[in-house]
Structure 1
Amino acid sequence: MDYKDYYKALGVEKTASKDQIKKAYRKLARQYHPDVNPNDAEAERKFKEINEANEVLSDDEKRQKYDQLGADWQRYQQAGGGRGSQPGGGFDWSQYAQQGGFGAGSDDPFGGADFSDFFSSIFGGMGGGGGSTRPRAGQDYQAELELTLEEAYHGGPRTLTVNGKNLRITIQPGVEDGQVIRLRDQGGPGRNGGPGGSLYITLRIRPDARFSRAGHDLTMDVPVSIYTALLGGEQTVETLSGPVKITIKPETPNGTRLRLRGKGFPVYRQAGQFGDLYLRLSLTLPTHLTDQEKALFQQLANLRK
């Protein structure tokens, strides 16, 4: 039977603390969760592997036994073991293997095939009567929620369905694309009195045809007639917070940028704080000119010579 490196599976050092192990596990569990990787056999294999590693390394008793096994295994390899066709074939597992561990067809409270023969052989008899009885948190769930830029700006209640259950949540103004919201106890049920898992909701904000966003700042293109650009005047601009009247100075060049302070995106969980809105003025030329208009423009052109 091959040795499994649980520390390597979670990407942590052997000296990692419980919090570091928990953090690494949750990150990998979200990455390889079957709901995020449907019909992906490799992701499913990785998901089972990290669950098995977490089951051992998050339990003091199992971890202590596993570390001792690892030390003996390392000494065995350094002594020249494991050079045959079957790695570790000559290693003495008997001092670690549990009698009455889970085998094919047995009642495995951990989910049967979700745990390897290595785990079942070494830890199958722990906890009294086969299988751990310590409280275990439920499985974490993943979901996505799509928002328009305007919905992300204003926030408010939203309803989504996860595993057939309708959940009503409140979106805070100023959320970002890719931001993850965690709902405790909305994942799978816990075992042996353990807490329920969490639901991680990834927010997806659809691109907006009017605005581009950079952090808390917004930019939008504002068409301006050539007459207003030349002579100056006032113009109303529709922002996400409502209409705003701006003043355009005479002889304003094409591409001029105006800054409207506090008219950008709200700062997440900072009430009353907003980014800025940048207006990029884009001159529009008149089309379908009449003969009289052409003559006037020609007259103007002659005056500028």
Structure 2
Amino acid sequence: MQATAEWLDTDYYEVLGVAPDATSKQIKSAHRKLARTAHPDANPDDPTADQRFSDIAKAYEVLSEPEQRSEYDEIRSRPRGGPFGDQGLGDQSFGYRSASTQDFDMADLFDLFGAQARPQQRATANWPLRGRDLTASLQLDFESAVNGLTTTLQLDGRTVNTRIPAGVKDGQTIRLVGKGTPGANGGPSGDLLIEIAVDKHPVFERSGRDLTVTVPISYADAVLGGEMRVPTLDGTFVTIKVPSGTQVGKTFRVSGRGVPHPTKPGNLLATVTIAVPTSVTDEDAGLLRQLSK
């Protein structure tokens, strides 16, 4: 990674939560901890998780390499100069451009102010430029969104293999760092933003990491107690004992059968409803009349 203007604006030590004089071992330990706790899979409800994880990776990439760290420290210690950094970066390459400024040409800016404004030590055409971000849409069935999957996308004539994490939601955007268009002059690639759409399921719904399902039981089982067969997303059933006097709307929890997660998987929540028969025999009708008195 070459020096960038981002180095001037971003305190990578602060990103990793370490002191500027931290040892390599301390930096590695801090990164390992943050990579685990800040991973997007561990924070499915946080829309900033992808960017946070990307920032941590960039910080570690710079600080874990002695030469890059030394260069970063030296650049950060210089006084900030004018708009072209004549007292800052000097001859270092900087100015990666994001997708929002991809169509902006620095040469046009210099032309506005005359030739005197043009830096002499390096032609702007040689500056590293960040590649453009790309966007793509992906339609997932309910099961794939819950369990995650590996899929292939065709973008700009390229084949991009990507892993969609378990538990993605309808309307969520996933950022794949470095999967956009390649950068120029050694600049980094842009990112790929995947907009997720999830099909509805005829039986199950989502509530965070939990799956919810409504299960009908007979009036007799609700009154006297019995068993309830709860469907799961993988097509199997779990049998739950229903105590006598169970009311409509009572919810039973099946632990760990919701959205997968490495440390805290979701649960399956089964809510009781009464299955009212569409027809009854005369004998059943008589018994019900007696019970209603």
Q: TM-score, normalised by structure 1?
A: 0.56
Instruction: Give, as a single letter, the amino acid of the residue that structure 1 aligns with 2:223.
Output: L
Residue in structure 1 matched with residue 255 of structure 2 by the alignment? 261
What's the counterpart of residue 242 of structure 2?
248
Distance of aligned partners of 1:158 and 1:129 in 2 relative to their CA distance in 1, 3 Å threshold: closer
Indicate the residue corresponding to 1:135 in structure 2.
128
- 1:277 partnered with 2:271: no
Structure 1 residues without counterparts, runs of 5 or longer: 1-15, 21-26, 31-59, 69-109
- Write out aligned runs for 1:1-305 (5 A): 18-19=9-10, 64-65=82-83, 118=109, 120-122=111-113, 125-126=118-119, 131-241=124-234, 242-267=236-261, 270=262, 273-301=264-292, 305=293
Judged with a 3 Å threshold, the aligned counterparts in structure 2 of structure 1 residues 232 and 111 are, in CA distance, closer, same or farther, namely closer
**Separation (CA, whole Å) in 1 of partners of 2:114 and 2:131:** 20
How far apart in 1 are the matches of 2:83 and 2:114? 9
Shift of 1:151: 0.8
CA shift for structure 1 position 148: 2.5
Partner residue, 1:77: none
Unaligned runs of 5+ in 2: 1-6, 12-47, 52-77, 87-100
Alignment check: 8 A CA contact 1:153 1:240 kept: no
Give the total of aligned pairs.
207
Q: Which has the higher contact order (CA 8 A, sep 6+)?
A: 2
Does the aligned pair in 2 maintain the 1:174–1:265 contact within 8 Å?
A: yes
- How far residue 157 of structure 1 moved from its aligned partner, in angstroms, is 1.6
How far apart, in 1, do the equivalents of 2:102 and 2:210 lie? 49
Alpha carbons of structure 1 residues 66 and 234: separation in structure 2 relative to 1, 3 Å = same
Give the superposed CA RMSD.
3.7
Provide the C-alpha distance between the structure 2 equivalents of 1:179 and 1:251, rounded to a whole number of angstroms.
42
- CA distance in 1 between counterparts of 2:266 and 2:230 reads 17
Counterpart of 1:300 in 2: which secondary structure? helix
Contact 2:132/2:190 (8 A) holds in 1:
yes
CA distance in 1: counterparts of 2:215 and 2:81, whole angstroms: 63
| Distance (Å, rounded) in 2 between the aligned partners of 1:112 and 1:266 | 42
Q: In structure 1, how many angstroms separate the alpha carbons of the residues matched to 2:224 and 2:290? A: 17
SS of the residue corresponding to residue 128 of structure 2 reads coil
TM-score with structure 2 length normalisation?
0.57
Assess, with a 3 A threshold, how the Cα gap between structure 1 residues 204 and 17 changes in structure 2: closer, same or farther: farther
Distance 1:287 1:195, change over 3 A: same
Q: What do the CA deviations read for 1:78-134 (whole angstroms, capped 9, x no partner)? A: xxxxxxxxxxxxxxxxxxxxxxxxxxxxxxxx9887679656423874467964311
1:179–1:202 CA contact under 8 A, matched in 2: yes
Identify the residue that residue 88 of structure 1 maps to in structure 2.
none
**Which whole-Å CA distance do the structure 2 matches of 1:187 and 1:122 have between them?**
33
For residues 103 and 158 of structure 2, what CA distance do their matches in structure 1 show?
27
Q: Aligned partners of 1:116, 1:253: CA distance in 2, in Å? A: 74
- 1:247 counterpart SS class: strand
